[in-house]
Amino acid sequence: MTPAPVAVIGGGSWGTGLSVHLGRLGLTARLWARDAALVALMRSKRENPWYLPGIPLPAALSVTSDHGEALEGAGLVIVAVPSHVFDAVLEQAARRLARGTTILSATKGLEPERARRMSEIASARCPGSPIAALSGPTFAREVALGRPTAAVVASTDPDVAKALQRLLSSPEFRLYTNRDLLGVEIGGALKNVMAIATGISDGLGLGENARAALITRGLAEITRLGGALGASPATFAGLAGIGDLVLTCTGSLSRNHALGLALARGQSLEQARGETRMVAEGARTSLSATALARRVGVALPICQEVAAVLFEGKTPKEALASLLQREYRAEEEPLPATSAPGGRRNS
């Protein structure tokens, strides 16, 4: 992989944090942001005051709201936009990309309408391009500050993953490769739902035992769905699985955990969204994941209850009661999406 310019699509906290990291590596980078007002602020202040305030942008980083300017001559395109706009943004970008340009998804979520993974969307929009995904326990601010971080870059083509590993790694940003692209993306998407659940639990004052139980059973749900889709169980014991899950469920910078806290305080999803520019991916993913689970015949009880709180008017306490009233099972017993006695579903 040549040191051609790197285009970062997405002017949020993660896209900005990655751009700062690229500058630290000495790479030429161009950051595309949709909002022209934000671009103007970033150019004048040389920081991202909306999403990553107080962290200087690299001198060599250019910021633009023009796709053509951002993508011209790019050898690598990193896409770091919310999952619900990923397809639309990539559709526009694909018109300006040279065939064969590597696409690296830094988005952790599932497409709301069809529950597609981001790599599936990228493959459809950019046929012939190498596709990879970046995931793992990575808060944008800490990456931008150069604090020690380990992450995973996944591709079904090991040569693509290794090339990205060589290009993007540094002593403080250690990348591991993984061939299990599907598993890495499923882990990165569903951990956000579990973080909302743990935020609700913490907001209700249920204690650390409850938080640990939710994280552990959440990992079981992620592994169950991933396995049904063909992912390797080992992936969920790694950085894109338990690593990202623990960080997002417990970290002070987790926007999904913060959403769960807001829900526990009695706020609606709309009210919580109105307090921040940040997107909590787990909200939409709760719906996508449960739809995907029904499609492959597995149960995701935590995801289902989070979706019920977010979109069906169920209160956090009612969702908790539903989880606590579930039938007793062996821990290792498979959990299919079947109906329980009395009409209550085991999902």
Q: How far apart are CA 112 and CA 107, in angstroms?
A: 13
Residue 345: pLDDT above 50?
Answer: no
Distant-in-sequence, close-in-space partners of 120: CB < 8 Å, separation ≥ 6: none
Q: pLDDT value at position 8?
A: 98
E runs forming strands in 272-341: none
- The tens digit of pLDDT for each residue in 83-136 reads 999 999 999 999 999 889 999 999 999 999 899 999 999 999 999 999 999 999
Positive or negative CA dihedral for 258, 231, 225, 91?
Answer: positive
Query: 186: helix, coil or strand?
Result: helix
Q: pLDDT value at position 335?
A: 60
Q: pLDDT value at position 63?
A: 98
Residue 32: pLDDT above 90?
Answer: yes
For residue 82, name the pLDDT band (cuts at 50, 70, 90): very high
Q: How far apart are CA 12 and CA 140, in angstroms?
A: 9
Give me the residue spans of the domains in the chain. 6-179, 188-337
**Residue 28: both structure tokens together:** 């030429």
> Can you tell me the mean pLDDT for 33-55?
97
Percent share of the chain, pLDDT over 70: 94
For residue 344, name the pLDDT band (cuts at 50, 70, 90): very low
Report DSSP letters for 153-179, one per residue. Answer: EE-SSHHHHHHHHHHH-BTTEEEEEES
Percent share of the chain, pLDDT over 90: 86
CA angle 184, 291, 130 (to 5 degrees): 35
- Structure-derived torsion over alpha carbons of residues 318, 269, 113, 290, reported in degrees to the nearest 10: -20
> Can you tell me the mean pLDDT for 204-219?
96
Quick check: 9 and 76 in contact, CB under 8 A? no
**Residue 215: both structure tokens together:** 């994280």
Closest Cα partner for 293 from 152, 186, 162? 186
Q: pLDDT value at position 342?
A: 32
- The tens digit of pLDDT for each residue in 280-324 reads 889 999 999 999 999 999 999 999 999 999 999 999 999 999 998
Q: How far apart are CA 306 and CA 203, in angstroms?
A: 14
- Across the chain, mean pLDDT equals 92
Distant-in-sequence, close-in-space partners of 156: CB < 8 Å, separation ≥ 6: 131, 179, 181
State the catalytic residues.
191
Q: Which CATH number fits domain 6-179: 3.30.160.270, 1.10.10.10, 3.40.50.720, 3.30.1360.100?
A: 3.40.50.720
Q: pLDDT value at position 242?
A: 98
For residue 2, name the pLDDT band (cuts at 50, 70, 90): very low
Strand order from edge to edge, sheet including 6-9: 62-64, 29-32, 6-9, 76-79, 102-105, 131-135, 149-154, 173-178
- The tens digit of pLDDT for each residue in 143-164 reads 999 999 999 999 999 999 999 9
Q: How far apart are CA 101 and CA 154, in angstroms?
A: 16
Q: pLDDT value at position 336?
A: 60
Q: Which CATH number fits domain 188-337: 3.40.50.720, 3.40.470.10, 2.40.30.30, 1.10.1040.10?
A: 1.10.1040.10
Residue 3: pLDDT above 90?
Answer: no
Closest Cα partner for 132 from 112, 106, 169? 106
